[in-house]
Structure 1
C-alpha cells in the first residue's frame, strides 16, 4: 500500500511541478531582507496568499514588535488523524545579496540553468516553504486528503538572529502546540546522501570596538601613538592560542558532554576530507589535525570562536599611510548544549579586562542557546525512514548542525522533537552569491514532505 501511495504522490507532485516552480519564482522576486528592512510587508502578504490559496487558516502576529510572525493551519482531512499535529518552521527573510558583482544571474529572479535554480533565498529558506506547501497541495488532490493537522510558524527575522521570536512563542505557545516539528533546512552532501540534523548549535555574536584617536593620523606617528588596529588584533589574539584553542576563562562552563549514543553516531558520520578541501578551495590543512581530533566530533560537539570580519583604516586600492583612529571586529561564537550566550559575552568582557584591554568595547548582537532532540524519539526514526523510502538512497542524520537557529525555544517551550530536513544540496551556497537548489531535489523534497505527513498521521 505504501509503495502505491508513494507512486501516486510522485505522479501528482510531478504534474504540479511547473506550478510549484512558478510560485517559488514569484516568492523569490520579493527581496525580503531583514538586515536592510526591505520587502517585509510584501513577503508577508505573499505568504498569506500562498496559504489561503490552499484553504489554510492564517493569522498575522505583530503585536510584540519586530517583523510579523505568520501562523498557518491546515486541518486533517475527513479520513485523517485530527489528534496528530505536525509543525513546520520556516522564515521568509533572506540574506542581503551582496557582493552583487559575484552573482552570475540576477539574485532576485529565479533562473534555471541546466536544472539548477539560482536566486537569493532559494535554498535559505524560500524553496523549503514552497516545497512544504506544494506537499499539502499534492495530498489535498489525493483521495484521503490531509492525514494530520499541519501548522506553520513562519518568521521574518531568522537572518538577523530571531531577536523577537521568543516573546511570540511565549505568548502563543498554545497556538503553535504540536506533536513534532520539521525545521527549516537540509539537503544532500558531496556524495548525494540525504543529510539532516536533530539539533542546532547556539550563538553568542558580538561587536568588539577599539578607538584610539578622534581621526586617522599620519602613520609616521606610530613611533609613539598606539594603533587601534594593532591593539584590537592583540586583544583578539589573546582569546585563542596558536593551536586554535579558546582560552577565555569560563568559556566552556556548563557544557553538557555528549552521550555514548551521540558519540557513536557522530563517529560514523561520513566525512571526506579531500572532497571538503576541494569543495571549499581550502589553502591550509584542517585545524583539527594539530589537535589530533576527529573533525566530525569538532563540528558537532565543540564550541567555536570565529572572527567574521575586521575593519580599520584604509583598505582601498594602492597605499594610504594612516594610523587608524578606530578598529572593529565581528566575533561569532557557536555554542553547544549547556552554554549560556549571555555568560559567554560576560566571559569575553572579563578576559579583556584581565589582560589589560579595558578600552575595547564589547557589544552583544545576538544570543541563542543550543538544542538537541532526543535521538530515541520515534519521530527521528520516522523522518529518516520516510526519507530512505522517498529518496531511495543513504540518509545521514547528526545530533546537531554546526549552524544556529532558534530551535531551543521550540524544543523547550513546545516540548517537541525537532528534525531539520530540506531541499538543498552541497553547492547551495546559502548566504553566498549564486545560491541554488537543484530542480530534482526540489521535486523529491515535496514528495518526502507529503509522504512524511502521511506516515505521521
Structure 2
C-alpha cells in the first residue's frame, strides 16, 4: 500500500474516531444473551442496520434458535471473495455486583472500553463494519467481494451454524474466511491464529438410593459421589495423560514447520506462573513447553462436580445423585463422536457402565496450513498497523466453529484478534482496549487490498 493512500485511510479513521465509538456503544448497549434468548432479535436487527449504513447488502436469516446476520458486497464474478465471520451474542453478565460499571452501559476507563460483549465479540466484529466504511470513504470502493456471517449462538456452542453452512454452501463460498476473536499476545504483539481445538462436553451422572439418606447409612448404602470420583479418577493420571483407551490414536503430529513456528512464540513462563498463581505447569505427553501443549495436545478437564450438601455449615447427608461436567479438548484428526464413544466404552470396561453419559457441544478441531499464501500478506498488514512483528500460532487451546469453514466449506480460516490478554471475557468488567479497536480497523484497511492482489484469480 502506498504511503499516500495509507495516510488517507488513517486520517479518515482518526477524524471519525468519536463517531465510531458512539456507534459501537449503541451496539454494546443492546443486550444479546443467547443462553436465555434476551435481546437476540433486537440485536440482530440493530447489527443489520449498522451494516446497511455503510453499504453492505444485509438480511437477517432465521435459524431454529437465534438469527444469523448475513451481508455481502459483490464485486462481480472475477473478484476474490473473503468471508468475514463473527458473533453478536454475549455471555450472561452475572454476578452483577462484581462489575465496576453496569454491563450494558459501556464506559471508557484507562483507555479501555468496559462492558459485556466489548471484546467478545461485538467490538471485534464492528471493526469490519468500520473497515468497509473507511475503505469506501478513502478510496471510493472496496478492493474485493465480501460476505459477512455474524451468528447469535457462539456462546452456546454454535448449534445452528453447521446446519446453516451446510444448507448455504454456495451462498457462503469464498476464497478464505477471516475474523477477529480471542486476544493478542501478553507482550502486546499482534497474533495470527491458524487453528482451534475441538471439544466434547459431557455430563456424567451417578445414582444411588431413591432419595438422599442420613450419612449414618454410609456403611451399607452406596454413595454415588464416591462412585463418580472413582470413575473420574480413571480418566486421567498424575502424569497428565488421558487414560481412555485409544484416546491418542488419531492425533495428527505437528509438521516441522509448525514445530518451528511454535518454538518462536515468546513465553515468560515465570510471568505466566505468577499470573495464574501456581508453582509449576503440568507435564506434557511429548514435551513440557507451555505453548507446545496448549496448541498441540488434547486433554480432559473436570469443569464441575455437584453432589449432596455444599452450603454453609454442616449437613450429614448421603446423596442420592452425583453429577460431573467434563470438557475434552481435541486436536486434528480426533473426532468428537468417536471420542465420546471411547469415553463410554472406557467407563464400561472399568466397571462404571451404570454411570450415565450425555454428550453435547460437539466441536471438530481445525487447522489452516501454515504455508498458505495469504499468511505473509496478513503478517505484513499487521506489522504495518501495529508497528510490531506479529506472532503466528498454528493453533490455540480454545475450541470454536472454525471447522465449519475448513471442513464444510473447504476454506482456509485466519483468526486475527485485537483484544488484550486481560480482556476478562466471560467475567465481570470485560473490556476492549481502545488501541486494539482502532488498530483492528487500521489492520482491516491494509489487509484486504493486499488479499485482493494475492487471491486474484
Global fold match (TM > 0.5): yes
Q: Which digits, 9 at most, give the CA deviation of each residue in 1:348-399, with x for residues without a partner?
A: 1111111111221100111111111111111111111110111111210111
Whole-Å Cα distance in 2 between the matches of residues 53 and 449 of structure 1? Answer: 18
Deviations 1:122-174 (A, max 9, x none): 11110111111111111111133211111111111111111121111111111
Structure 1 CA distance, aligned partners of 2:354 and 2:57? 53
Match of residue 73 from structure 1: 72
Superposition RMSD on alpha carbons, in Å?
A: 1.7
Partner of 1:98: 94
* Partner in structure 2 of residue 176 of structure 1: 172
C-alpha spacing 1:290/1:274, structure 2 compared with 1 (3 Å): farther
Aligned-residue offset at 1:292: 5.2
Structure 2: runs of 5 or more not aligned: 453-457
**Aligned residue number for residue 56 of structure 2:** 56
Residue 126 of structure 1 corresponds to which residue in structure 2? 122
SS at match of 1:187: coil
Q: Does 1:297 align with 2:292?
A: yes
Distance (Å, rounded) in 1 between the aligned partners of 2:331 and 2:394? 11
- For the 8 Å contact 1:20–1:130, the answer to whether it is kept is no
CA–CA distance in structure 2, aligned partners of residues 206 and 284 of structure 1: 30
Q: Distance in 2 between matches of 1:81 and 1:144?
A: 20
Which residue does 1:208 correspond to in 2?
A: 204
Task: After superposing the two structures, state which structure 1 stretch, 118-127 or 15-24, moved more.
Answer: 15-24
* Pairing 1:30–2:30 present: yes
Q: Distance in 2 between matches of 1:265 and 1:15?
A: 38
**Which position in structure 2 is the counterpart of 1:14?**
14
Correspondence 1:317-356 to 2 at 5 A: 317-356=312-351
Give the conservation status (yes or no) of the 8 Å contact 1:425–1:438. yes
Q: How does 1:123-162 map to 2 (within 5 A)?
A: 123-162=119-158
Q: Which moved further from structure 2: 335-344 or 423-432? A: 423-432
For the 8 Å contact 2:225–2:322, the answer to whether it is kept is yes
Query: How far apart are 1:101 and its partner, in Å?
Result: 2.7
Matched, 1:88 2:87: no
Residues 276-296 of structure 1: CA deviation (Å, up to 9, x unaligned): 12223x234110379752222
Q: TM (normalized to structure 2)?
A: 0.95
Question: Could you say which residue in structure 1 is the equivalent of 2:371?
Answer: 376
How far has the Cα of 1:186 moved from its partner? 4.1
TM-score by structure 1 length?
Answer: 0.95
| 8 Å Cα contact 1:81/1:149 also seen in 2 | no
Q: 1:164 aligns with which of 160, 164, 174?
A: 160
User: Which of 307, 315, 321 is matched with 1:312 structurally?
Assistant: 307
> Equivalents in 2 of 1:258, 1:285: separation in Å?
25
Q: Identify the range of structure 1 (175-184 vs 116-125) with the bigger mean alpha-carbon deviation.
A: 175-184
- Secondary structure of the residue aligned to 2:80 is strand
Counterparts of 1:119 and 1:235, CA distance in 2:
40
CA distance in 2, matches of 1:30, 1:322: 45
Counterparts of 1:237-252 in structure 2, within 5 Å, are: 237-252=233-248
Answer yes or no: is the 8 Å Cα contact 2:209–2:221 preserved in 1.
no
Maintained 8 Å contact 2:214/2:318: yes
Once the two structures are TM-superposed, the CA of residue 216 in structure 1 deviates from its matched residue by 2.0
Describe the SS at the equivalent of 1:188: coil
CA-CA distance at 1:204 after TM superposition: 0.8
Which position in structure 2 is the counterpart of 1:227?
223
1:292-333 per-residue CA deviation (whole Å, 9 max, x = no partner) reads 522221111100111111111221222222122211111101
Aligned in 2, Cα 1:451/1:338: closer, same or farther, shift over 3 Å? same
CA contact (8 A) 1:186 1:195 kept: no
**Quick one: distance in 2 between partners of 1:233 and 1:105?**
40
- The size of the alignment, in residue pairs, is 452
1:343, 1:284 → 2: CA distance? 35
| 1:38-92 Cα shifts (integer Å, max 9, x gaps) | 2111111111111111121113222x5232222111234xxx9961111111011
Equivalent of 2:429 in 410, 424, 434? 434
